[in-house]
Structure formats: structure tokens, C-alpha cells
Amino acid sequence: MGRGTYRHPWLAMVLIVALGLLTPMAANMVGARAGLRAVPTGVSSVVTVVAEVPRGFAPPASGVRPDPSKVVARAAREAREARWTSVLVHVQRTLPAFARPRAGASRIGVVPAGSKYYGFPIVAWVEVVSPNGRWGLVELPYTWPRTEGWIRLDGLRRSTTRVRVEVDLSSHTVTVRKFGAVLFRAPGATGASSSPTPVGEYFVTDRVAFPAGSYLGSFAFGISGIQPRLPAGWSGGNQLAIHGTNNPSSIGRSASAGCIRVSEATLDRLLPLLRYGTPVIVRN
């Protein structure tokens, strides 16, 4: 080797030290600019870059994305179920009803604690719940003209039903739905021309069994409406009901004092479905 090989040994040493220091520092500066985590210098000659997860986001638990069609279908199902789920409240004492859902509103009637003739505890269908959840709009039982009022829901036991009954007076049919889907449809007798069944939104207040062969059939579901146009000489009370009959030929016609008459076979299908508070909607 010649002497020139060791001409400036101190300069070579300075360059080696400088490179050793600047390499990890440069890596850390680039990482900081890119939003990456810096690695302490002097730890290792290998620079490790770790990506930061943006705040407010989390990596998915798996690489599988939800099926958009299933998400839409589930949302539609939940909306349908919410629409067809009726809120019921158990009335333990006579409750005042008000014109508006607020304290100080004018009083327009009451919701009784018991049914009109048999005294069964009232379970009322709440058609609308106020946004704060403290008031409910109900059809006041056994009133004419038909009246809706707001009652306080605080302290009342609540339940729900997915079943409702629709009575079509023009076609003389009784339709039972669950979550909006038709469970079954059957013919029924409705009010005669002189004593038409009054349209309205009612709910079941009574469940009463009768001896076989009764003019009410073997069972009656009393509802919260009354008949304001009773036939002359009528002495059977004015509460509306869905019941059987000992005159099956009248089913499918306008023939009653206002109640809805159905067959014994239809009663058998209604028995497990119509609980206290079940909505009954009568339309023309």
C-alpha cells in the first residue's frame, strides 16, 4: 500500500460518524412529515415505520363488508314492525283526559278503570305517544260523539301488541293482521241501515264466554265504542262488540243492531289473538 492511503484519516472518521447520525434523523423527519410515528435514534440500524390509525376510525374486524341489500331489508323490516306495533297501557284508576299533551290543558273527559258492563280492567290502545314519552293519545271509551284525549302515561304499566282487527262495512269483512300482514279474513254481519255500525278506532275491553246457542254465540269481544242509533225497543245495552250469533244466515249482511257478528269458526280463530287493548278499526 502507498502512503496516500492514510493521507487524511481524520476526515474519513468524521464522514463515518456524520452518516451514522444523519440516517436515522432523516428517517424520523420524513416520518413526521408523512404523519408516521418516529423511531428513536440509536436503537437499531433498521428503521421501522408504523402507520397511525386516523382518529375516529377503526379498522374493520374482518375484511367482509355488510351486504347493502341486507342492511336495507333489515331497516325496512324494523320500520314496518315499529309501525304495526301498538302501545297498550293498563289503566288502574280513572284517568282524566286533556285536549293537549301538557299540564294546564283543558280537561275533555276520562278513561275509566273498568269496562262498561262487566267491569274488566281497561287496557287502552295508545294511538300516539308524545315526543317526551309522558303523554298518550287515546280514544275515550264509551263516548259519543267519539272523542280523543291525552292521558298521562307516568306510572302506567305498558305492553304491546302486533295484532289489529279491521272491519270493512261495505264488504262485510273482518280482517286480522299481524305486523301488517293478513292472518285471515272472514265475513261478518254489520249494522242494519237503521242502526249502522259507527266507524271509528276502538280497542278490546271485554272477553266474555256465553252458553252455546246464545244470540251472542259462544263468545263476545266487547270493544270501547257505543251505538248512538239503537233500534226501537232495544234493551240489550249500547256497547259495541264482535260476537257470535245463533243466526248464521245473517253473516255477510247489514243485519245487526251495530255489533259485528261472526261464525263460531271465526270466533275460534279470534280467541288466541284478541287480547285486552287490541285495536279494532271500523271503516266504511
- pLDDT at residue 130, as a whole number: 97
Which residue in this structure is represented by grid cell 280467541?
271
29 or 265, greater pLDDT? 265
Q: What is the mean pLDDT of residues 102-117?
A: 97
**Rounded to whole angstroms, how far apart are CA atoms 74 and 86?**
20
The residues near 62 (Cβ < 8 Å, ≥ 6 apart) are none
**Rounded to whole angstroms, how far apart are CA atoms 53 and 101?**
49
Q: What is the pTM of this model?
A: 0.74
Amino acid at 144: W
Does the bond joining 96 to the residue before it have cis omega, within 30 degrees of 0? Answer: no
- For residue 77 the three cell numbers come to 323490516
DSSP-derived 3-state class of residue 239: strand
**Rounded to whole angstroms, how far apart are CA atoms 279 and 284?**
17
- pLDDT at residue 15, as a whole number: 46
On whether the CB atoms of residues 140 and 110 are closer than 8 A, the answer is yes
Give tens-digit pLDDT for 85-101.
999 999 999 999 999 99
What is the chain's mean pLDDT, rounded? 84
On whether the CB atoms of residues 163 and 278 are closer than 8 A, the answer is yes
- pLDDT at residue 229, as a whole number: 96
- For residue 164 the three cell numbers come to 289489529
Give tens-digit pLDDT for 155-189.
999 999 999 999 999 999 999 999 999 999 999 99
64 or 227, greater pLDDT? 227
